[in-house]
Amino acid sequence: MKRKVIIFLVALCLGTSYSNAQNEVDVLRYSFLDWQGMSSRSAGMAGSFGALGADLSSFSINPAGVGLYRRGDFGITLGISGIANESTYSDDLHNDFSLAAGVHSLGFVSSNITQSSDWKRVNFGVAYNRLATFKEQITATGSMNNRSLLDQFVAQANGTPGDQLYLAFPYDAGLAWDTYLINPIDSTDNEYDHVISGQVNQMQVIERSGNLAETAFAVGANYRDRLYLGGALAFPRINYTEESSYTEYTTEEDLELDHFTFAETFNVSGSGFNAKLGAIFKATDWLRVGISGQTPTWFSITESFSRDMTSVFKGEAPYDASTDIVANYYRIRTTYRLGGSAAFVLGKAGVVNADYEFVNYATGKLGNTRNVLSSYDFTAENQAISAIYRPAHNVRVGTEFRIGKPFRIRAGVGYQQSAYVNGAVTDNPAVFTYAGGLGYRGLHFYADISYTQKQEFSEYYMFNPDLVEPIKIKSGTGQFLMSCGFRF
C-alpha cells in the first residue's frame, strides 16, 4: 500500500506538463501552521493561548481574546530561527544548517469603554503574525548501480520522434535530448537509451526560503466580564522560493560522460483571505473555556518556474539547455480549523492553558483562478489530496507562573499529528514542540523572550521511487523570539 500510493503521486507529478504541475504538496505546505511563531509570550507556552487572550497572537488563535484587553496595546516581536537538517541517503549522512530572522508579530489594539452596563468594552485592532517559516537547506549524497535520473527521461521519451521531444517534454526529456544525454536506439521505432551506466554518484542540494504570514483585523467585546466574543478578517500572504540542483557523476573510465546537472528554480507569491470567530467564557473564577473556528483560506497564487540541464563530456565544452521562465496562476483552498481550549487560573500564582485543534487536511483543493482561462480542472491532484491526507488532532499545553510581581516564567509542549494517512509515506511521525520563556509585565511596558525547539521527520525522493530510495530527513528547529510593547 505504501509503495502504491507513493508511485501514484510521483506518476501524477511526472505525467503532466509543468503548466499543470501544482500538486498536493503545495496545499499541505500552506496548511501546516506553526502557532509558536508569533508573540514571544504565546510562543513560551508552545502557542497554547486559546482561552487566555489579551495578546497579539489572539488575532490568529482565537479573536475572542481581543475582548480581554482592558487597555490599548502596541507590540512587536522579532525572531531568529535556526534549522538543522540531517539527511540520510544510500547510507550516506549529511548535515545542513540555516538561519532566518525577521519580524514575527506586530500589532495595535484600541480598548474602548462603552456606555452599556452589560457590554463593558469593545476593542478593535490589527496585527501581523507569522504562521510559517520556510528557510532550510537539504543536501543528500549517495551512489547507485545502473540507476539514473536519465532512466526516467528515457521512459518519458520512448515513442516520441526526436524532432518532437522538446515540444512534447520541454521541461524533462527535451532538455536531456538537447544536451546529448539520451540518444535514439532505432529512429524508426522512436526508442531511446542514455549515456550513463555502472555506478552513479548522486548529489542533490535543495535551498528553500520565505514565509507565510497574515494581517488580521479584529474586534472583540466584553459582556459583563464573563463572556468575550471576537471575530477577525485575515489576509495571509505567501512568499516561497525553492532552488534545487541534482548532479550525477560517472565512475566508469570508459564512459564519455563526466557528469551532468539538472537544476530548477521555483518562486511562489500569493495572497488570500479567511475569517475567524471565537468565544471565551469565564465559567468560574478559576476556569475559562474557549472555542474558535476558522474558515478555509482562499489563496490566489502566482508562480514562476524554470529548469536548466548541463552535460559535461570528457574533453569537450559543456552542453547547456534551459527553459523559459514559465508563469502559472491558480487557486488553493486550505482546510478549515476548529479549536477548543480551557484555562485554569491558579489565583495570582499563574495559569495553565490547554488547546485542542481539529484540522482536516483532506479538504484542501486546487483550482483555476477566475481570470485565467484553462480547461485543466485539477481532478487528479484533488483526488490525491483526498487519498493521502487525513483529519489531524493537535494539542498544545502551556503554563505561566509569576516570579515576584512583575516577572513571569513560562513553559509548554505542542503535538501536531501527521497530515498523512497511514501508508502514504514510509515514516509517519507527529511533530513535537517544546517551549520556555521569561517575561516582564510592568504598568505600561512589557518585554518577553522565548525559545522553542521542534523536531520532525520527513522523506523526499530525488526522482521516481521505482528507481531510488527515499532521502530520510531529520529536522530540528530552534527559534528565539523577543517581544516588547506598551499598554496605554
Report the amino acid identity of residue 424.
Answer: A
pLDDT band at 374 (very low <50, low <70, confident <90, very high): low
Q: What's the pLDDT score for residue 360?
A: 97
Q: What's the pLDDT score for residue 372?
A: 61
CA-closest candidate to residue 230, choices 72, 105, 121, 358: 121
Hey, what long-range contacts does 241-245 have (CB within 8 A, 24 or more apart)?
Answer: 241/208, 241/209, 241/210, 241/265, 241/266, 241/267, 241/268, 242/206, 242/207, 242/208, 242/266, 243/206, 243/207, 244/204, 244/205, 244/206, 244/207, 245/204, 245/205
Helix, strand or coil for residue 126?
strand
Does the pLDDT value for residue 463 go beyond 90?
no
Does the pLDDT value for residue 20 go beyond 80?
no
Q: What's the pLDDT score for residue 18?
A: 41
Q: What's the pLDDT score for residue 411?
A: 98
pLDDT band at 166 (very low <50, low <70, confident <90, very high): confident
**Is residue 304 within 8 Å of 327, Cβ to Cβ?**
yes
Q: What's the pLDDT score for residue 467?
A: 86
**Is residue 292 within 8 Å of 338, Cβ to Cβ?**
yes
Q: What's the pLDDT score for residue 189?
A: 79
User: What is the rounded CA–CA span in Å between residue 232 and residue 254?
Assistant: 67
Scored b (16 or more CB within 10 A) or e, 179-196 reads bbbbebeeeeebebbbbb
- 2-148+196-487 topology per CATH: Porin (2.40.160)
Show the cell assigned to 150.
Answer: 536519465
Does the pLDDT value for residue 405 go beyond 90?
no
Does the pLDDT value for residue 280 go beyond 50?
yes
* Dihedral sign from CA coordinates of 51, 419, 206, 203: positive
pLDDT band at 402 (very low <50, low <70, confident <90, very high): very high
367 Cβ neighbours under 8 A, 6+ residues apart: 330, 331, 332, 333, 377, 378
Q: What's the pLDDT score for residue 17?
A: 38
User: What is the rounded CA–CA span in Å between residue 129 and residue 446?
Assistant: 18
CA-closest candidate to residue 10, choices 210, 249, 203, 172: 172
Number of residues in the chain: 488
pLDDT in tens, 133-161: 999 999 999 998 888 999 999 999 999 99
pLDDT in tens, 89-130: 988 999 999 999 999 999 999 999 999 999 999 999 999 999
Does the pLDDT value for residue 72 go beyond 70?
yes
Q: What's the pLDDT score for residue 4?
A: 40
Q: What's the pLDDT score for residue 21?
A: 56
Percent of the chain residues past pLDDT 90, beyond the cut:
80
Does the pLDDT value for residue 356 go beyond 70?
yes
User: What is the rounded CA–CA span in Å between residue 381 and residue 159?
Assistant: 26
**Is residue 226 within 8 Å of 166, Cβ to Cβ?**
no
pLDDT in tens, 260-270: 999 999 999 99
In terms of pLDDT, which residue wins out, 374 or 282?
282
Does the pLDDT value for residue 348 go beyond 50?
yes
In terms of pLDDT, which residue wins out, 379 or 76?
76
Name the residue ranges covered by the structural domains of the chain. 2-148+196-487
Does the pLDDT value for residue 30 go beyond 50?
yes
pLDDT in tens, 310-327: 999 999 999 999 999 989
pLDDT band at 431 (very low <50, low <70, confident <90, very high): very high
Per-chain mean pLDDT for the chain: 92
Does the pLDDT value for residue 282 go beyond 50?
yes
Does the pLDDT value for residue 70 go beyond 70?
yes
Q: What's the pLDDT score for residue 320?
A: 97
In terms of pLDDT, which residue wins out, 221 or 34?
221
Work out the average pLDDT over 472-476.
94
User: What is the rounded CA–CA span in Å between residue 208 and residue 2?
Assistant: 27
